[in-house]
């Protein structure tokens, strides 16, 4: 099984969108894939999957993951009321992540995709602990604004320190294609290249801003797996780079 972290220094940049679309694509390509929403404070992978009320079954010892086609999915959203904020103290959070990863009937997986909240808090540390510090790779998601990149650099340094192999940067909302003139507008600049160069890492993909996605709720967010044309090509090439990288890891 290959374990993949999808993370970022910043919130709202599209981590969950990328993680869920990637997990779904790998699963549609015939792989056994697990997806865990490790964002305990604001889980929303289920929303992207179009599941209104996720329900996790348990026999008291094990959890049965939610199945979306062949994709196996776990989220804390099943256990909390979305309107009530939960104050998770460190140990409790760690225990929950531990249980979800270890006591779930994942079956034989080819890939385990872990979608994190932004930053280097308890969540990545606990996941790394569960996997004995052996995660096969990390994808950093960011938008191209200058202001996002300092925080992204921090998370990359954290991953380096933890010896997590960095696959590269997945740039999201890179540009907007005008529907009238067809011109690409780089709304947030093109600053990711500087960071990639500085950190000696690759840009895995550049996905445009697609206004309909942000406006709609639910499965419209699976837009990458359903994309066509140039976006499809870019998405497929990004997924392939990740798969190729992971296949070379022992």
Ligand X SMILES: Nc1ncnc2c1ncn2[C@@H]1O[C@H](COP(=O)(O)OP(=O)(O)OP(=O)(O)O)[C@@H](O)[C@H]1O
- Site residues (vs ligand X, CB under 6 A): 8, 11-17, 39, 42, 44, 117-118, 172-173, 207, 209-210, 213-214, 221
How distant is the alpha carbon of residue 181 from its chain centre? Answer: 33
Asked if 129 contacts 164 with a C-beta cutoff of 8 angstroms, the reply is no
The reply on whether position 227 binds Mg ion by CB under 5 A is no
How distant is the alpha carbon of residue 107 from its chain centre? Answer: 21
Draw the binding track, 2-41, toward Mg ion (x: CB under 5 A; -: no contact).
-------------xx-------------------------
Q: Tell the burial category of 67 from Cβ atoms under 10 Å away from its Cβ (0-12, 13-18, 19+).
A: exposed
- The CA distances from residue 203 to 26, 67, 69, 172, 209, in Å, are 20, 31, 30, 11, 17
Q: How far is the CB of 68 from Mg ion (least distance, A)?
A: 17
Q: Which entry of Mg ion, ligand X, none binds 34, CB below 5 to 8 A by partner kind?
A: none
- Spell out the residues 6+ positions from residue 100 whose beta carbon is closer than 8 angstroms to its own: 36, 63, 74, 76
- Written as six digits, the tokens of 193 are 């290249």
Q: Which entry of ligand X, Mg ion, none binds 168, CB below 5 to 8 A by partner kind?
A: none
The reply on whether position 191 binds Mg ion by CB under 5 A is no
Q: How far is the CB of 202 from ligand X (least distance, A)?
A: 19
Q: Which of residues 161-180 bind Mg ion (CB under 5 A)?
A: none
Draw the binding track, 71-110, toward Mg ion (x: CB under 5 A; -: no contact).
----------------------------------------
> For residues 78 and 172, which CB has a smaller minimum distance to ligand X in the complex?
172
> For residues 15 and 241, which CB has a smaller minimum distance to ligand X in the complex?
15
- Spell out the residues 6+ positions from residue 56 whose beta carbon is closer than 8 angstroms to its own: 63, 64, 65, 66, 74, 75, 78, 79
> For residues 219 and 246, which CB has a smaller minimum distance to ligand X in the complex?
219
Q: How far is the CB of 39 from Mg ion (least distance, A)?
A: 5
Q: How far is the CB of 223 from ligand X (least distance, A)?
A: 8
Asked if 13 contacts 142 with a C-beta cutoff of 8 angstroms, the reply is yes
Residues 65, 77, 103, 121: is their CA dihedral positive or negative?
positive
Residues that bind Mg ion in the complex, under the rule CB under 5 A: 15-16
């Amino acid at each position: 099984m290959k374990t993949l972290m999808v993370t970022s220094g910043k919130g709202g940049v599209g981590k969950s969108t990328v993680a869920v679309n990637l997990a779904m694509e790998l699963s549609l390509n015939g792989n056994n894939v697990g997806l865990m929403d490790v964002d305990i404070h604001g889980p929303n992978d289920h929303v992207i999957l179009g599941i209104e009320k996720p329900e996790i079954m348990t026999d008291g010892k094990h959890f049965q993951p939610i199945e979306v086609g062949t994709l196996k999915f776990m989220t804390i959203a099943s256990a909390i009321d979305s309107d009530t904020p939960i104050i998770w103290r460190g140990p409790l959070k760690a225990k929950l992540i531990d249980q979800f990863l270890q006591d779930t009937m994942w079956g034989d997986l080819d890939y385990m995709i872990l979608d994190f909240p932004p930053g280097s808090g308890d969540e990545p540390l606990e996941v790394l602990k569960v996997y004995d510090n052996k995660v096969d790779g990390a994808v950093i998601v960011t938008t191209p604004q200058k202001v996002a990149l300092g925080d992204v650099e921090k998370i990359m340094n954290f991953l380096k320190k933890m010896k997590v192999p960095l696959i590269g940067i997945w740039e999201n909302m890179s540009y907007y294609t005008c529907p009238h003139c067809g011109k690409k507008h780089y709304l947030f600049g093109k600053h990711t290249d500087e960071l990639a160069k500085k950190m000696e890492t690759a840009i895995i993909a550049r996905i445009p801003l697609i206004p309909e996605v942000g406006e709609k709720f639910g499965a419209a967010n699976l837009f990458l797996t359903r994309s066509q044309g140039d976006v499809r090509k870019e998405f497929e090439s990004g997924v392939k780079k990740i798969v190729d990288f992971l296949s070379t890891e022992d």
